Amino acid sequence: MTFQIRTIVSLSIAVIVLSLLLAGPSTAQQSQAKPTETLKSMLKAQVFGPEWLLSKGFNGDIDARNWRRLAQKLATPGSKIQVVTFGGSVTAGHLPEARNCSWVEQAEVWMKAAFPAVRFEVLNLARGATDVTAASTCWYNHVPANTDLIFIEYSANGCTRLQCTSIMSPLVADYESLLRRVMRRAPNAALMSLAIFAFYSHAGTAQNGKNTTIPTPYYNTGEDMHAVLARRYGVPMVSVRDALYNMMWDESALRSALGYGRKHIMKDDIHPAFVGHDLYGRGLVAWAMRYILTRELTALSSTAVNNNINNKNNNFGKNSLQLSLPSPVSPIAAREADGDTFCAEGAWFQKYVVKSSAAKDGWQWFDETTPINLKYCDHFNCHRLGYRATGAGKSLDIQVATNNVTTQSRLEKRALVIFFTRSPFKDEMGIARVSCISGCSCSPIELDGYNDDFYATLGAGSTSVTAHPQCLVRVTILDKSNSGGHMFKVDGVAVVPYTDSNPLTPIDKLALQGLA
């Protein structure tokens, strides 16, 4: 039924478009001719994949926030379109044979073909093997205020073991916090969510006793909770799962639809090969953009609508600076709304480390990114920088101000966050204790560097901390380990304002009990 409705809507838009193109502009329309010309150009740009398949991946029939404004700018020759992307390795790029190649570059190929009169500048803030926490706490601060379009991909990393199936999940809360923070930082930006999927197979036993292969469950993703948030904030979503799940374990169906088998589409269960990136970027994402922008450019081509962009029935067409964000969905995200964080992660972390402590115990400034990684990704955020040492008893001191992170008076508390490297390998990462030494006070916490999740190796631990302009924090490697090793790497520090005073409904409390 949904597909039939979407087909009818698409055909209706096509009829309007055709009438506009064939009738020729009236005197009133001549001053608004650029949207029509832009629409013609966009419709000529080829997408990769059959229309019926690409349409299955689109989950965005909503009043999309700021997409009318994006359409206006795309229809203005000479404009610069600032694009920002967030995600893991699928977004950062991971193919040795194609430098910086990911679906982002393929989407950019389509955008340049569709809108040749404007230029695009892409800032890729993705990093491999990371979940959404660092993006919502730190990397959102790199988003330029004049950004026009933001892509967010975090439905797989950190979410492949049912960690993201509750609105009370910390990772779901971080996803919502990222949405809110980028919307506040770049209030004119249109957003799109790309939900990738981990197409794992599991060994099982059939009723006849024979071994069999079972596809990973359809619900094993963060995208269903992310879709709730996307609808709430007017963010269209593109679902790789919805487009490909029924075919990914059916080689003949894949070849019939795309002309390629799974080995040509996927490098492994989660990472696309070049053809897969083309399908994600120049296929699914491009189709979704074309669908939304056809509607918006068609509306801009109509004099009646164009003269009434700011009417009350078109809230997302209004100046977004006049729009307040809706109240948070996640009660956990509500604890931090809408405060800005302080973060020093990666290259920015080095200046907050007490150098004498690093020298005393042999902590080395180290880039976890291997030379082979840098062959296929040279975005500045691909680097995994931090201080690393091996040996129980070695300490690293960090000095940070915990008193000036927000102007929101209701966010009366502070969380101290330490980012650290996690590894799935034995005899490698150990356990460290975080404690406050002077200036501030906090409850000590322990951080375990051993974790068997290959797709989320940047860990984060937090504890409540008092406000002070010179808070001295110490990270000490302990004489115990779950991996057998005693190495530890500290990647960054953050201070996050929050409150505990928000009231909870009985349903919120029930959801919290379910998470426990």
Going residue by residue through the chain, which has 516 residues, state the pLDDT in tens, using 9 for 90 and above: 443 434 434 444 444 444 444 343 333 333 343 999 999 999 999 999 999 999 999 998 888 999 999 999 999 999 999 999 999 999 998 676 666 689 999 999 999 999 999 999 999 999 988 999 999 999 999 999 999 999 999 999 999 999 999 999 999 999 999 999 999 999 999 999 999 999 999 988 777 878 888 999 999 999 999 999 999 999 999 999 999 999 999 999 999 999 999 999 999 999 999 999 999 999 999 999 999 999 999 999 985 344 544 443 444 444 444 467 999 999 999 999 889 999 999 999 999 999 999 999 999 999 987 665 666 677 888 889 999 999 999 999 999 999 988 667 789 999 999 999 999 999 999 999 999 999 999 999 999 999 977 666 899 999 999 999 999 999 999 999 999 999 999 999 999 999 999 999 999 999 888 765
**Contact (Cβ atoms closer than 8 angstroms) between residue 219 and residue 185:** no
8 A C-beta contact, residue 156 and residue 88? yes
The neighbour count for residue 493, using CB atoms within 10 Å, is 26
- Report d(CA 301, CA 36) in Å as an integer: 6
Burial 467-485 (b: 16+ CB within 10 A, else e): bbeebbbbbbbbeebebeb
Which pLDDT value is given to residue 17?
Answer: 45
Phi/psi of residue 464, nearest 5 degrees: -70, 140
Q: If DSSP codes are grouped into helix, strand and coil, which group holds residue 21?
A: helix
Has this prediction a pTM greater than 0.95?
no
What is the DSSP-derived secondary structure letter of residue 146? Answer: T
CA distance 222 to 237: 12
What are the φ/ψ torsions at residue 22 (nearest 5 degrees)? -85, -30
CA distances from 218 to 22, 200, 239, 250, 417 (A): 45, 11, 12, 15, 33
Q: What is the pLDDT of residue 319?
A: 41
The pLDDT, as a whole number, for residue 208 is: 81
Looking at residue 323, its pLDDT comes to 60
pLDDT in the model for residue 47: 98
Rounded Cα distance between 475 and 437, Å, is 10
DSSP strand E in 305-412: where? Answer: 342-345, 364-367, 385-390, 395-400
Q: Say whether 415 sits in a helix, a strand or coil.
A: strand
Angstrom distances, CA of residue 69 to CA of 64, 151, 246, 291: 10, 16, 36, 15
pLDDT for the residue 471: 98
Q: Rounded CA gap, 223 and 193, in Å?
A: 9
d(CA 123, CA 143): 8
Asked if 132 and 307 touch (Cβ cutoff 8 Å), the reply is: no
| Residue 312: partners with Cβ closer than 8 Å, 6 or more residues away | none
Q: In residues, how long is the chain?
A: 516
Query: Would you state the pLDDT for residue 181?
Result: 97
